[in-house]
Amino acid sequence: MDVEAGRKDKDKKGVSQDLILAYKTLGVVFGGLVTSPLYVYPSMNLTNPTEEDYLGIYSIMFWTLTLIGFVKYICIALNADDHGEGGTFAMYSLLCQHANIGILPSKKIYTEEESLTSTQPVVAGRPGRLRRFIERSIIARRLLLLTAILGMCMLIGDGILTPAISVLSAIDGLRGPFPSVSKPAVEGLSAAILVGLFLLQKYGTSRVSFMFSPIMAAWTFTTPVIGVYSIWRYYPGIFKAMSPHYIVRFFVTNQTRGWQLLGGTVLCITGAEAMFADLGHFSKRSIQIAFLSSIYPSLVLTYAGQTAYLINNVDDFSDGFYKFVPRPVYWPMFVIATLAAIGGSQSLISATFSVIKQSVALDYFPRVKVVHTSKSKEGEVYSPETNYMLMLLCVGVILGFGDGKDIGNAFGVVVILVMLITTILLTLVMLIIWGTHAVLVALYFVPFLLLEGTYVSAVCAKILRGGWVPFAVSVALAVVMFGWYYGRQRKTEYEAANKVTLERLGELLSAPGVHRVPGLCFFYSNRQDGWLTPVLAHYIRNMRSLHEVTVFLTLRYLLVARVDVKDRVAVRRLGPSGVYGCTIHYGYADAIDFEEEDGLAGQVVGALREHVGGEEAARVEAARAAGVVHVRGKMRFHVGKDTRLVDRLGVLLGFYEFLHSTCRSALPALGIPLQQRVEIGMLYKA
């Protein structure tokens, strides 16, 4: 009875927590999606639209929301998480964990408990032909990596445009009742609002969502009310447009013009990718509850109301949102719309933080500062450098374009491309990890490939009309990631070819003229697979010495909130006398600085005393008393005459060296005194 009661209490607590999180998702996850009625119709280049045209457009938007928003993301994609993380790079990470298709070793480590509690339905048995082909083909593996990189970069491009178009479209509502308000004034006010929003990001997703959730809830529940009123007043039969035959009639009538208008209707699904990418900030159930109970019905009714109004006022599409708002509630809705547009920008900002964190953890992006803003949710993060770069780009987009319609032209390109990439990666997850039957996979892949492929063909026509901007940003980010990946791959190859085994370490120490000097040395290394970094051999050959007690120290990040103090430091002997290995484990909510208590040296020495005991422990203490030094290797590539041509040109490796010199150190701030730090430089032969 007690067990059953405990289970019921736990279930109740889980349901209540999901409901609270579902409420919070309104302020973060769905902001971009639910505020799309502000700019969808104004972004369409309609010419003398008719009632049939509007019915066809509404039918297209309804089925796009249903198929992509509900079927693809809510029912399928949210299940393809990487231990709670979502997005294209999370799916790539997931594929790398279940098949040998990764190129660089991941820095993400899961605890045994996390591995056992993974929600992924993994198929066991003999690998399929697709998996074997990708594992054996380096070209296929690189194409897969490139696809994941492009998906991530386009999501960031989406994150630049969503805040710009949302806020600008909302503030533009001032020009209706006040025509004297100039466009530069609207642009300046929009830019100032966005700067304020980005300055709030350092307080974390939970606090920001707490602030915006009431606003987004007000927007989510007031716009469909106005939509219902508009349906009743202007066109009660609007829901007949849910029949797909209106889509057929629309394309038969408009032909090429109808295909071009898809570049505007695609904006109705703006922000859908954030449902998946923001998964790390919330939970699958909370996102599903919020979408099905409020977001989806709200959008269906709001677009129906807008369309009903426009059928009776066919030329008002350029201000399709504010014109359909009844005059008595215009100003309250203007305030709600402006605040909702600000909150709506949060979805892609949070998603950008998530994908940057994932790519840094996988070592495919230059190291930037990632701050965990929650003690209970690993995926809730903030990146200062990313935040301020997004802010500058968003403000630049507003001041550069200055018009919501022009930004809309730029917007659709990245929106649908990232969704198409998600479709491709999700298909691979179904085949390689889930073991889904080929017929069911085809039933998913073929319809969505046709749907999203058609949208892609339509938005490509907008590239010259502004669509090149997010595309250029995405390509620039992809170049940064590829340059970093190339340098890291070459570094990994060199270290594997010139590794220092424990046997080799013994030979180096026994060489003539090599001495053991007094003191305690911490030698930082990220290798844990039985061999040590080549910098060690370089150090011993040139210094002709090694400290009497040398500890090879590795910092290991675990996907848990906190690591218990007794489990944080793990030590072991490495063979030669006085040489030890030490791994310091830490969780995402742990403060990894050692300025307090006895410092890093004190904690490691304490663990060594417990591990070795007796005279060996006394020797460690004596070495510490003689002096402590922290050694870190710093490697650079050297381009010689026998270097391959692509490296002699110096473009890729030179770019990597530039990125490596400007990014943050791989070692977090450990509170180590400056006078104890030593860097050993080494040139790698490229």
What pLDDT, in 10s, does the model give residues 238-296?
Answer: 999 999 999 999 999 998 888 989 888 988 988 788 788 778 777 889 999 999 999 99
Same domain, 556 and 477: no
User: What pLDDT score does 324 carry?
Assistant: 86
- Using the Cα atoms of residue 542, residue 546, residue 547 and residue 549 in order, give the sign of their dihedral: positive
Kindly tell me if the per-residue pLDDT of 673 is higher than 70.
yes
> What's residue 288's pLDDT?
92
Say if residue 479 is in the same domain as residue 540.
no
For residue 631, is pLDDT > 50? yes
Residue-level pLDDT at 175: 78
pLDDT of 467 strictly over 80: no
Pick from 424, 455, 484: which residue ends a domain?
484
- Any residues with CB less than 8 A from the CB of 392 and at least 6 apart, and which? none
Residues 543 and 461 in one domain: no
Whether 524 and 631 share a structural domain: yes
137 vs 204, residue with greater confidence: 137
Last residue of some domain: 450, 484, 518? 484
Number of domains in the chain: 2
| pLDDT at residue 28 is higher than 80 | no
What is the DSSP track for 45-87? --SS--HHHHHHHHHHHHHHIIIIIIIIIIIIGGGS-BTTB-S
Residues 6 or more apart from 326 whose CB is under 8 A from it? Answer: 226, 229
| Structure tokens given for 227 | 């939509």
Specify the higher pLDDT residue, 28 or 10: 28
Place of tokens 């402590």: 628
Residue type, 306: Q
CA–centroid distance for 525 within its chain: 27
Residues of the chain with pLDDT > 70, as a percent, come to 83
- State whether 464 and 506 are in the same domain: no
For 401, the token pair is: 């374009």
- Sequential DSSP letters for 162-195: HHHHHHHHHHGGGGTT-TTS-HHHHHHHHHHHHH
Q: Average pLDDT, stretch 668-684? A: 75
Most confident of 419-428, 638-647, 663-672: 419-428
The predicted pLDDT at position 646 comes to 58
pLDDT beyond 90 at 223: yes
Check whether residue 411 and residue 274 sit in a common domain: yes
Residue range of the domain that includes 14: 1-118+145-484
In a domain, 175, yes or no: yes
The interaxial angle of helices 256-265 and 438-459, nearest 10 deg, is: 100
Q: Which residue has the tokens 């809705």?
A: 333
Q: Tell me how far apart the alpha carbons of residues 263 and 257 are, in angstroms, rounded to a whole number.
A: 11
| pLDDT score of 502 more than 60 | yes
| In a shared domain, residues 443 and 332 | yes
Instruction: Give the pLDDT band of residue 3 (cuts 50, 70, 90).
Output: very low
Instruction: Please give the residue that has the higher pLDDT: either 656 or 561.
Output: 656
- Going by C-alpha positions, the residue among 680, 340, 358, 373 that lies closest to residue 525 is 680
Contact assessment for residue 308 and residue 235, using Cβ atoms and an 8 Å cutoff: yes
- Indicate which CATH number applies to the domain containing 322: 1.20.1740.10
SS3 helix, strand, coil % of the chain, rounded to 5?
A: 65, 10, 25
Q: Give domain status of residue 139, yes or no.
A: no
Number of residues assigned to the chain: 686
One domain, residues 191 and 325: yes
Contact 623, 520 (CB under 8 A): yes
| DSSP 8-state class, residue 42 | G
Q: Which of 484, 507, 536 is the last residue of a domain?
A: 484
Of 535, 547, 546, 552, which is closest to residue 511 (Cα–Cα)? 546
* Predicted pLDDT of residue 26: 81
Residue 554, domain member (yes or no) = yes
241/641: higher pLDDT: 241
Q: Which of 2-16, 47-61, 259-273, 592-606 has the lowest mean pLDDT?
A: 2-16
DSSP secondary structure code for residue 467 in this structure: T
Q: Are strands 500-501 and 371-372 parallel, antiparallel or unpaired?
A: unpaired
Please tell me the distance from the alpha carbon of residue 551 to that of residue 603, in angstroms, as a whole number.
Answer: 13
CB 24 within 8 A of CB 213: yes
Question: Nearest CA to 428 among 21, 183, 95, 150?
Answer: 95
> CA–CA distance from 375 to each of 95, 224, 560, 589 (Å)?
28, 37, 10, 5
- DSSP-based three-state secondary structure for 637: strand
- Read off the amino acid at residue 315: D
Helix, strand or coil, per DSSP, at residue 349: helix
Tell me, yes or no, whether 155 lies in a domain: yes
Q: Whole-angstrom Cα distance, residue 366 to residue 368?
A: 6
In a domain, 123, yes or no: no
In this structure, the answer to whether residues 517 and 435 fall within a common structural domain is: no
In a domain, residue 135? The reply is: no
Beta strands in 137-240 (DSSP E): none
DSSP string for residues in 545-589: EEEEEEEEEEEEEBSSS---HHHHEEEEE-SSTTEEEEEEEE-TT
Mean pLDDT of 390-414: 77
* Nearest-angstrom CA–CA distance, 552 and 575: 12
Mean pLDDT of the chain: 81
**Lookup: tokens for 582:** 């030490």
- Is residue 662 assigned to a domain? yes
Residue 29: pLDDT band by 50, 70, 90 thresholds?
confident
Residue 415 pLDDT > 80: no
**Residues β-bridged to residue 552:** 523, 581
Asked whether the predicted pLDDT for residue 111 surpasses 90, the reply is no
Phi, psi of 66, rounded to the nearest 5 degrees: -70, -50
Residue 597: CB atoms within 10 A of its CB come to 8
Global pTM reads: 0.76
CA distances from 546 to 405, 501, 519, 678 (A): 66, 16, 9, 14
Both 422 and 564 in one domain: the answer is: no
Is 133 within a domain? no
Average pLDDT over residues 631-639: 76
269-278, 330-339, 424-433: least confidently modelled range: 269-278
Give Dmax over CA atoms of the chain in angstroms: 96
What is the β-pairing status of strands 628-638 and 515-524? parallel
pLDDT digits (tens, 9 = 90+) for 526-580: 665 667 888 888 888 888 999 999 998 887 776 565 677 778 888 888 878 888 9
Residue 112 pLDDT: 42
Rounded Cα gap, residues 112 and 295, in angstroms: 37
Using one digit for the tens of pLDDT, what is the confidence trace for 575-623?
A: 788 889 888 887 655 656 555 546 777 888 888 888 887 888 889 899 9
Lookup result for tokens 């109808």? 258
Residues 425, 516 within the same domain: no
* Structure-model confidence comparison of residues 357 and 8, the more confident one: 357
- Domain match, 479 and 507 both: no
Q: Does the pLDDT at position 8 exceed 60?
A: no
The reported pLDDT for the residue numbered 201 is: 83
Structure tokens at 296: 């989806």
